[in-house]
Amino acid sequence: MSPASRFVIYVLGSLLCGACGSADPCVGVADIMETPQGLILTEDEHQAGWGSSQCFTCHQIWRFHVADCTESMDFDMESINEMVDVEDPSSCTVCHGDNGAHWSADTG
Ligand code: HEC
Ligand code: HEC
């Protein structure tokens, strides 16, 4: 690899990682408590994922519940994450409701 392409890769790498570490985990995270239903998902606030019980297809476990991004409440995200079963999306319904999905043993 030429020094020039090494340099390009270095610059691209630092640009990408400028976003890591220092970034606020709540940037781009909507305040889920804004609806009267609170933590329960509504169709309007969850259009992209409504009707699905396959939460982990879209939500990577290391990317959500990183910080409390709500204004009106003070959640203890550490204890919440202890309750959540990262292999079982049906553990999400306790707080977030059924997401308009049909939950059954075979769909998980
Ligand atoms: C097809 C992809 C997809 C699936 C499947 C999905 N989601 Fe989502 N979810 C999203 C996206 C994208 C957002 C960001 C908000 C938006 O655009 O709807 C989101 C947002 C959320 C939010 C935040 C809503 C808010 O107003 O702050 C919660 C909570 C959530 N999802 C939980 C779940 C749970 C629980 C499941 C499984 C029952 C699930 N999601 C399945 C794509 C998905
Ligand atoms: C014990 C209650 C509880 C359970 C169970 C729970 N959540 Fe949450 N969830 C919360 C709270 C409180 C918030 C709002 C805090 C915030 O802004 O991140 C939240 C926010 C979210 C968000 C949007 C904000 C973010 O942090 O990205 C997503 C996505 C989400 N939950 C997905 C899930 C999924 C998927 C499951 C199941 C594996 C799940 N939750 C189970 C309490 C819970």
Q: Is residue 86 part of a domain?
A: yes
Which one has a higher pLDDT value, 16 or 33? 33
Evaluate if residue 22 carries a pLDDT over 70.
Answer: no
CA distances from 70 to 25, 47, 67, 89, 91 (A): 12, 20, 9, 22, 21
Q: Is the CB of 32 under 6 A from ligand 2?
A: yes
Question: Residue 108's pLDDT band (boundaries 50, 70, 90)?
Answer: very low
Q: Is residue 10 part of a domain?
A: no
Domain of 67 in residue numbering reads as 24-108
In eight-state DSSP terms, residue 65 is S
Nearest to 107 by CA among 98, 85, 81, 42: 98
* Closest Cα to atom 23 of ligand 2: 64
Torsion of CA 80, 81, 85, 91, to 10 degrees: 30
Number of domains in the chain: 1
How much distance in Å is there from the Cα of 65 to the middle of ligand 2?
5
Q: Is residue 11 part of a domain?
A: no
pLDDT at residue 92, as a whole number: 96
Q: Is residue 5 part of a domain?
A: no
Question: Over pLDDT 90: what percentage of the chain?
Answer: 61
Per-residue pLDDT tens over the stretch 2-12: 777 777 776 66
Q: Is the CB of 91 under 6 A from ligand 2?
A: yes
Tokens for 56? Answer: 């982990």
